[in-house]
Amino acid sequence: MLNKPDSSEKFYFIVGFESPDVKSEQVIEDQ
């Protein structure tokens, strides 16, 4: 699900809105 850039951005807004670090970690771990 997080493979697509669109999902990645949405996930970032949902989970890491104030924490871009979390978004990066989540995306890396998911992939």
Q: What is the pLDDT of residue 9?
A: 62
Average pLDDT over residues 26-30: 59
Q: How far apart are CA 15 and CA 4, in angstroms?
A: 16
Quick check: helix, strand or coil at residue 12?
helix
Q: What is the pLDDT of residue 5?
A: 57
**Which residues constitute the domain of residue 27?**
1-31
Total count of domains within the chain = 1
Joined together, the tokens standing for residue 15 give 């989970």
Question: Is the overall model pTM greater than 0.85, yes or no?
Answer: no
Provide the pLDDT confidence category of residue 13 given band limits of 50, 70 and 90: low
Q: What is the pLDDT of residue 20?
A: 57
Q: How far apart are CA 5 and CA 12, in angstroms?
A: 10
Q: Is 16 exposed, middle or buried (0-12, 13-18, 19+ CB in 10 A)?
A: middle
